Amino acid sequence: MLKWAQLVANRLPPSLRYGQPYRDAVSLLRESDTWNERTLVAYQEKRLRILVNHCYANVPYYREVFRQNGLAPRDINTVDDLRKLPFLTKEIVRTRKKDLIATNISFLNREDAYTSGSTGAPLDFYMDRTTRPMERALARRHLSWLGYKKGDRVAVCKVVPLADPKRFYQYFRSSGELRISFRDMDEPRIAKMVDLLEQFKPAFISAWPSSLYILARWMERNKRTIQPPKFLVTGSENMYPHITEQIEKVFKAPVSDFYGQEESVASAMQCSLCRGYHIQMEMGIVELLPYREGMSEIVGTGLHNMVMPFLRYRTTDLGPDGYSACPCGRSHPTISGIIGRETDFIVTPEKNIVSPLLLNHPFHHLEEIREGQIIQEDIRTLKIRIAPWERISENTREQLRNEIEGCLASSAMRVIIEEVEDIPRTISCKKPFVISRIRLEDYL
């Protein structure tokens, strides 16, 4: 019954599915689009003061943290004041989950949330019923920044459930949206998917990067094209240069990416110029914590989840140091890119760090490979999973091995190439390109 209720809810437009909280979020974002940075910061600090008072009064973990650090709510008034608080980590959330739940909010007003745990143990937590509506309103803003107009058609290509499990696509006439589930895709289904996109002629294609990449590789192999959309809108997975290059070349459209995480503490999106990522200050407060070699870890404070607040939460997502300005003129500060997560980096026995932005290059032009994945099993073992279109020749294997070994520049690391039918998805249906089963801090 719950499954069918969820499927029915998925059919509803956000204004009906999420109700007044969504409409309030849309109204806020429409107004704040014209604010300058000073006004955006003032909004953040107003929300922060409400949040801090709530945490002290109703969240046992934070009341303990405040007392241990000799703090009172009046000591946290500005964004800079947040630095007085210690960081919140995934491990603390796992071990202190009960103490992080607000005692004054009924269980009826919270919903389950989780991260996939693709590179470690899954993380379970709660959200209140205003956080998801804000996320959906930000997705709407993203399209509006890209020039969406009422009546524009949108194709959504993700691993999403549909009402009829025997079908992998569904058209919603009221919203002009074509939804295609990328679950269990084989070549006949991919061919049908291209037929659908060719007929539908979407102005925007919203998809996970891994799904668009497979689709683009198939279209290139089979010399298929569709009418170019205005934009390819991506999110939920890291964007790597070989993926961006491939899908922009085949679809003849620019990629505009959205950054966020299930915990909803930090959001950022590319505008129509497709350069840096504009931090969405209405969702959360972002800090850049120096990491190493010109990189910073993204630390976020969510401003909307009152059920289980995350203050100064270490996301383990990495980006370049510092902020920049975008020529579009918007007031939201910009970071130049998202490098990946700590778990996307490979560590060699020589204690050298290899970036995923380097490891993606060997996969650029190997036509026999449909998709690939890199897994660090231990400090000396790197497994390369490759899923072929038909078969993988010895020449392709050797070329891939040589290029990966060249990226690693390590004589002590063993590279194992494993051919698989398909790259398995995580519990949240994503396909991370790099997975590390070790912790960087154990070796660096």
- With bands split at pLDDT 50, 70 and 90, how would you rate the model's confidence at 8? very low
Q: How many whole angstroms separate alpha carbon 403 and alpha carbon 366?
A: 11
Residue 63 has a pLDDT of 97
Element (H, E) at 414: strand 414-419
Which residue(s) pair with 296 in the sheet? 290, 319
DSSP letter assigned to residue 294: T
Q: How many whole angstroms separate alpha carbon 280 and alpha carbon 301?
A: 12
Domains and CATH numbers, the chain: 345-442 (3.30.300.30)
Neighbour tally for 343: CB within 10 Å: 20
| Tens-place pLDDT, residues 208-235 | 888 888 899 899 989 999 999 999 999 8
Could you tell me which of 222, 240, 212, 217 has the C-alpha nearest to residue 341?
240
- Answer left, alpha or beta for residue 294, where phi above 0 means left and psi between -120 and 50 means alpha: left
Residue with tokens 């999420």: 18
Q: How many whole angstroms separate alpha carbon 291 and alpha carbon 321?
A: 9
- Collapsing DSSP to helix, strand or coil, 59 comes out as coil
Looking only at the bridges linking them, the beta strands covering 154-158 and 169-172 are unpaired
- With bands split at pLDDT 50, 70 and 90, how would you rate the model's confidence at 292? confident
Residue 434 has a pLDDT of 83
* pLDDT > 60? residue 302: yes
